[in-house]
Amino acid sequence: MQTHDNSFGLSDSSLLVTDCFIDGRWCGADDGKTFSVVNPATGRVIAHVPDMGQRETQRAIDAASRALSDWRGRAAKERAVILHRWFELIGEARNDLARLLTVEQGKPLSEALAEVNYGASFVEWFAEEAKRVYGDVIPASRADRRLFVIKQPIGVCAVITPWNFPNAMLARKLAPALAAGCTVVAKPAEQTPLSAFALVELARRAGVPDGVLNVITGDAPTIGRTLTASDRVRKLSFTGSTEVGKLLMQQCAAGVKKISLELGGHAPFIVLHDADVDAAVSGAIVSKFRNAGQTCVCANRFIVHEKIHDEFVNKLVQATRSLVVGNGLEPGVAIGPLVDEPAVAKVRRHIDDALTKGATLACGGKGHPAGPLFFEPTVLGGANANMLLAREETFGPVAPVFQFRDDDAALCLANDTEYG
Ligand code: ADP
């Protein structure tokens, strides 16, 4: 089923799909249950999507399993033709995909568009690489042996993606899997399923055969357990929190499943005494405030030499104050809402903790009148290693500045997290 509500302002309203895709068919949960998707900028419910569980997940695995032998048996070139077509369709639909992304996720439209292009680039790249999956011939230790390696599709892949890059993270996992001849069961984040459904609709139009690409939404722990418990799922690729990554790793251990995990981070941003401060500040703004600070590579700690500390902080504050906060659909907006209430609560907790431990508020530090999930981009001075934000990912628009005197100390500070 597809909705034809055009409140998203899509030029192709059939890209607004609110059902899951199993075995080439759009479908709801067996019991008809749904959960709602909310626009974080307005707080309005924008869609109801299927709340699936064990049975539907199993059905998706069955479909992917049945589709495997035909898909893997095709020439790489044949798969590449379909992927190229998919890439072209994504390109043609880029403005609609970006709008869907902004409405469900909150990031500014320009960032959403950049994400769609970035996601598409994986589809293009892997379409090309599919034809170059070379093996190796290895010198053998005996004259009567010949050793060679051939690469083959591993089988059904489970793909679980986060809400902060709902388009690109999915494209980045689907494209290599499909190009290699694997089939997929994908589960996007519950906050942002619409980008996934739209991508899958375009894959369907591009000619991806029934069962090769399945997408389900619903109860994450149940879907995760079903995927990891299945013998037929041969690989899991996950991007998300370290906590869930560890859990999935444990679940995959039972079947010694192959896994690829992309988890949390705690990026330091070091500014040495001889840095070009203006360049450092523009880099800092991009690195810190993209997606309102909600990316796993966002700088979480600014470690600045004492000689240029005050100049850096002053200029950073100036640049930060100029960032426009608002609904990502409005022109000129640089900072959209945070994804949900727990995200805002974490940002507040980190700021409050830092202030009680000696930080100073250089700018921001509070919610923004644009709505309950909007937060003012914030700069904190006087940060130190005892603060929560020195250990945990803030995942929000907060730039804490640490000071250092010698470069070795800066490196020690940079590396002093469990992330290494
Ligand atoms: P975040 O805290 O940033 O939302 P999560 O790791 O919770 O990050 O979410 C990333 C993805 O993992 C989402 O698709 C989410 O639904 C999924 N997820 C969350 N918990 C589980 C789980 N127990 N098993 C499988 N997937 C899960």
What's the average model confidence in pLDDT over 308-333? 97
pLDDT computed for residue 3 by the predictor? 45
pLDDT computed for residue 2 by the predictor? 43
pLDDT computed for residue 296 by the predictor? 87
Which amino acid is it at 378? T
How far apart are the two ends of the chain, measured CA to CA in Å? 47
Atom of ligand 1 nearest to the CA of 241: 6
CA 330 / ligand 1 centre spacing (Å): 30
Tell me the best of 215, 244, 340 to mutate to test the pocket of ligand 1, counting ligand atoms within 8 Å of each CB and taking the most.
244
Is residue 9 classed exposed, middle or buried when 0-12, 13-18 and 19+ CB atoms within 10 A define those classes?
exposed
Stated pTM of the model:
0.95
Kindly report the protein residue whose alpha carbon is nearest to atom 19 of ligand 1: 220
The values of phi and psi at residue 75, to 5°, are -65, 145
Question: What is the pLDDT of the chain when averaged over all its residues?
Answer: 96
What's the average model confidence in pLDDT over 106-123? 98
Kindly report the protein residue whose alpha carbon is nearest to atom 18 of ligand 1: 220
CA angle 182-213-76, nearest 5°?
A: 40
Residues annotated as part of the active site: 262, 296
Cα separation, 151 vs 78, in Å, equals: 17
Write out pLDDT tens, residues 22-37.
Answer: 999 999 999 999 999 9
pLDDT computed for residue 7 by the predictor? 60
Q: Ligand 1 pocket, 220 CB below 6 A?
A: yes
Q: Ligand 1 pocket, 250 CB below 6 A?
A: no
Write out pLDDT tens, residues 200-248.
Answer: 999 999 999 999 999 999 999 999 999 999 999 999 999 999 999 999 9
pLDDT computed for residue 8 by the predictor? 85
- State the pLDDT confidence band at 116, using cuts at 50, 70 and 90: very high
Q: Which residues are within 8 A (CB) of 203 and not within 5 positions of it... i.e. 6 or more apart? A: 86, 174, 178, 213
